[in-house]
Amino acid sequence: MSVVARKPGPPESAAGNAPHATATAARNFPLDTATLKHYLRQMVTLREFEHLGEREFKNGLIRGYYHSYAGQEAVGVGLVNALDLHRDYIVDHYRDHGHVLLSGVEPKLVYAELFGRRTGVSKGKGGSMHMYSPEHHFLGGDGIVGGGISIATGVGLALKQQKQDGICVCFFGDGALDTGTFHESMNLASLWQIPVVFICVNNMYSMGTSLERHSSLPRLVDRAQGYGVPTEQIDGQDVWATTAAAERIFRQVREQQRPYFIEALTYRYQGHGIHDKPLNYRSLEEETAWHARDPLKLLTDYLVQEKVLSHKQIEQLRTEVVASLEADVAEAKQAPEPDPEELLQDVTL
Amino acid sequence: MIIKKAMHEALNMALREEMIRDPRVVLLGEEIGPYNGVHYVTRGLFAEFGKDRVIDTPISEESFVGVGVGMAMMGQRPVVELMRMDFCLRAMDQIYNHMAKIRYMSGGRLSVPMVLRGPEGPGPNPGLTAQHGQQLTVLFAHCPGLRVVSPANQHDAKGMLKAAIRCDDPVVFLEPGPLNNKQGDVDDGDYLVPLDQAEIKHDGSDVTLIGYGASVSLCLQAARELERGGVSAEVVDMRSLRPLDMAPALASVAKTNRAVVVDYAWQSYGPAAEIVSRLMSDAFWDLESPVLRVAGKESPLPYAANLEELSKPNVEEVVAAAKQTLRN
Ligand SMILES: Cc1ncc(C[n+]2csc(CCOP(=O)(O)OP(=O)(O)O)c2C)c(N)n1
Ligand SMILES: [Mg+2]
């Protein structure tokens, strides 16, 4: 059953005529080859992390929810790398594997959480949606749509009161624009001049509902108007575009101590969760069009074209990454489950 | 004719039959349309009744519950689905301050004939974790102005949902998540199950096991287990939490003189606490042993498989509690 008849792919999609326009211009942003190679490794890690994770879900090691980050890598890589996580903070929603890894948490600790092990980032108590790592300034992992937006605003207010020069960024989906708390938080952040960046990762779907079926306006930046918060739509497929926007915007938020709203246009490749079958509500044509601008492909094409890396070297990098992740999976599998006494610990002090 | 159906299919039959019978019945909720409902309850209804009667909502719980209240005040019969009952917390103002109170605040001149429904508790599948598998029954049951019911089997699910849709009061219809995919007998005809009557689900004489929704299954399994050891347990399904119909439980305790109340909710201040309190005031002189509770452990729902199992009430605990009441 095809639910929506809509034109496939990024260029003509309801929300996005921006992507192509910005893509070439963004190449001018100076990212040196060492950085680009590092970003490639990160993007490959995020992508392969999910492949192995989904495999282990099917093997029965992971239960309940699993929201894959595959397809959205350039958003996280551009935005999280532009933060200084010694002073900045991240508040995330439940599609959090990519962001927690980019914050610097070791993959084996994220796998251990997914397997419900004592060594997991949340001691096996949180699961896929609830990754927390305060030492990496990663404050979750919230399962309620929009639940983190006011929390991020509070983190920003605390940073300001404590006279720290950090900022807080909050990741959420296009669906979160439909919650009241998003609009309330935008008003508060603007009214109180809070250094928080609201990052809407618009992957075109809220579960099985396409943007035009859940949003009164096709451009989410338009729905974020009216609060005196500057807004910007960016190409979330292109790591140059996300990096350029992030460095400029974060600098401005830090200097001016005022909020900002970013809409990053991207696409999730898998279903909403593991059991969701996206072809029930979107077309293969649309998926193919987005895959043509796959964030990893854009980066590898450039690196090959510029003779920074050969296809063979990129394949080798992927093999290395997979081998390392397989070792992480194996180690996480060996980790013990939590002690029974843990059930009633951490509830209150 | 009696047919075998999963609970979600029984609920689907109820919705479909009522939508055919009454054109004022309108469904609202997230992914209930072409997506067919995350727990399949609305499967096929969008195709059959179209977008004006099966309305997909954005993630705007506070507002679409309020929309339901407004529609109901105008004489429609909205049935509002929460994808998981946990999301009621977003809509609690509309539920507590509006849905529950408009009849009273208007001196009885207005009513809100709507149904708020969705799955609660740790199921159907494991791993729902802290924000998606809670048993928040008591939040509704605490509030005058609401009717709060929860079916324990497929037959009741259909008959009670039909009765809820026909009821002129707001009804919170709590679907036991753990039973969503479980099969059982359903009558394919038009029948109603009353919204305010508890029922004996299994006869016995030595001890009374009391539950509602998914915990009735634990009681029934425990009763079978106890029977193997020569103990005859009677199982009472409360079916309604507000109002509470204590008559069958009181009659049962008059016979058995012992009771265990079983509940997926956290034990402290939970529905089981209210039932125990009623037994204390109304069955005190029949009791030969303290009434015991078996309930959810006082933690958020943990992810790790071993901790999740520990956190939920289980059959062994019910059997052990029943045996303990028999020691006196
Ligand atoms: C308040 C609330 N309502 C409903 C849900 C169920 N739910 C979880 S994710 C989701 C879709 C959200 O989509 P979006 O915000 O676009 O984020 P994405 O999953 O695409 O990253 C829904 C309906 C929820 N978790 N919280
Ligand atoms: Mg989305």
CATH at B219: 3.40.50.920
Q: Would you say residue B181 lies in a domain?
A: yes
Decide: A45 and A106 in contact? Cβ < 8 Å. Answer: no
d(CA A262, CA A196): 11
Domain boundary among B187, B214, B236: B187
- Assess whether B61 carries a catalytic annotation: yes
Q: Within an 8 Å CB–CB cutoff, is residue B50 touching chain A? A: no
d(CA B211, CA B233): 13
pLDDT of residue A29: 74
Which amino acid is residue B194, in one-letter code? P
d(CA B273, CA B263): 10
Contacts of residues A248-256 at CB distance under 8 Å and 24 or more positions apart, as own/partner, are A249/A197, A250/A82, A250/A83, A250/A88, A250/A167, A250/A169, A250/A197, A253/A167, A253/A195, A253/A196, A253/A197, A254/A165, A254/A166, A254/A167, A254/A195
- The answer on pLDDT for A23 being more than 50 is no
pLDDT of residue A40: 98
d(CA A260, CA A252): 9
Residues B14 and B134 in one domain: yes
Residues B12 and B79 in one domain: yes
pLDDT of residue B142: 98
What the block records as the tokens of B126 is 């494991």
Residues B106 and B211 in one domain: no
What the block records as the tokens of B69 is 């209240």
H helix or E strand, kind and range, residue A171: strand A168-173
Q: Which residue has the higher pLDDT, A8 or B13?
A: B13
Residues B73 and B163 in one domain: yes
Out of A272, A275, A282, give the residue to mutate to test ligand 1, the one with the largest number of ligand atoms within 8 Å of its CB: A272
Q: What is the pLDDT of residues A199-254, one digit of tens each?
A: 999 999 999 999 999 999 999 999 999 999 999 999 999 999 999 999 999 999 99
d(CA A275, CA B30): 17
Residues B160 and B139 in one domain: yes
Q: How many residues does chain B have?
A: 328
Q: Is B314 helix (H, G, I), strand (E, B) or coil?
A: coil
Q: Quick check: A344 and B299 CB within 8 A?
A: yes
Q: Residue A292: what are its φ and ψ, rounded to 5°? A: -65, -25
Predicted complex ipTM? 0.97
Burial class (CB in 10 A: 0-12, 13-18, 19+), B251: middle
Q: What is the pLDDT of residues A321-335, one digit of tens each?
A: 999 999 999 999 999
Residues B179 and B203 in one domain: no
Residues B75 and B181 in one domain: yes
Q: How many domains does chain B have?
A: 2
pLDDT of residue A15: 39
Q: Is B119 helix (H, G, I), strand (E, B) or coil?
A: strand
Residue A27 pLDDT class (50, 70, 90 cuts): low
Residue listed under structure tokens 């211009």: A25
Q: Residue B106: what are its φ and ψ, rounded to 5°? A: -95, 15
Q: What percent of chain A has pLDDT over 70?
A: 92
Q: What is the pLDDT of residues A37-46, one digit of tens each?
A: 999 999 999 9
Q: What is the pLDDT of residues A72-101, one digit of tens each?
A: 999 999 999 999 999 999 999 999 999 999
Domain boundary among B187, B210, B244: B187
d(CA B236, CA B213): 11
Ligand 1 within 6 A of CB of A175? yes
DSSP string, A230-285: -EEEEETT-HHHHHHHHHHHHHHHHHHT--EEEEEE---SS-SSTT--GGGTS-HH
CA distances from A221 to A207, A264, B101, B136, B186 (A): 20, 10, 38, 36, 50
d(CA A125, CA A140): 13
Please, which residues bridge with residue B192 across strands? none
| Number of Cα atoms under 13 Å in the Cβ half of residue A42 | 28
Ligand 1 within 6 A of CB of A203? yes
CA-nearest residue for atom 17, ligand 1, is A173
Pick the residue from chain A with its C-alpha nearest to B61: A179
| Number of Cα atoms under 13 Å in the Cβ half of residue B92 | 12
Domain boundary among B133, B153, B187: B187
d(CA B287, CA B279): 9
Q: Would you say residue B192 lies in a domain?
A: no
pLDDT of residue B328: 77
Catalytic residue among B9, B18, B30, B61: B61
pLDDT of residue A12: 40
Nearest to B216 by CA among B268, B253, B171, B179: B179
Q: Which residues span the domain enclosing B258?
A: 199-327
- The answer on pLDDT for A24 being more than 90 is no
For the question of whether the overall pTM of this predicted structure is more than 0.90, the answer is: yes
Residues B278 and B311 in one domain: yes
Q: Would you say residue B193 lies in a domain?
A: no
| Residue ranges of domains in chain A | 32-326
Domain A32-326 has CATH 3.40.50.150: no
Those residues of chain B that have pLDDT short of 50 are: none
Out of A2-11, A172-181, A254-263, B158-167, pick the least confident: A2-11
CA B186 to chain centre: 17
What the block records as the tokens of B60 is 């705007």
Residue B176 is part of a domain; what is its CATH number? 3.40.50.970
Decide: A137 and A116 in contact? Cβ < 8 Å. Answer: no
Q: Would you say residue B34 lies in a domain?
A: yes
Q: What is the pLDDT of residues A246-304, one digit of tens each?
A: 999 999 999 999 999 999 999 999 999 999 999 999 999 999 999 999 999 999 999 99
Q: Quick check: B58 and A215 CB within 8 A?
A: yes
Q: Nearest CA to CA, how far is A121 from chain B (Å)? A: 12
**Cα Rg for chain A, rounded, in angstroms?**
19
- The answer on pLDDT for A319 being more than 80 is yes
d(CA B180, CA B86): 16
Q: Nearest CA to CA, how far is A189 from chain B (Å)? A: 21
Out of A207, A266, A268, A276, give the residue to mutate to test ligand 1, the one with the largest number of ligand atoms within 8 Å of its CB: A207
Residue listed under structure tokens 């980050």: A69
Residues of B in contact with A340 (CB under 8 A): 306-307, 310
Site from A63, A215, A281 to mutate, B interface, most B CB atoms within 10 angstroms: A63
CA A49 to chain centre: 14
Decide: B217 and B152 in contact? Cβ < 8 Å. Answer: yes
Nearest to B115 by CA among B162, B153, B47, B164: B164
Residues B152 and B222 in one domain: no
- Assess whether B132 carries a catalytic annotation: yes
pLDDT of residue A21: 41
String of b and e for B10-22 (b: at least 16 CB within 10 Å)?
Answer: bbbbbbbbbbeee
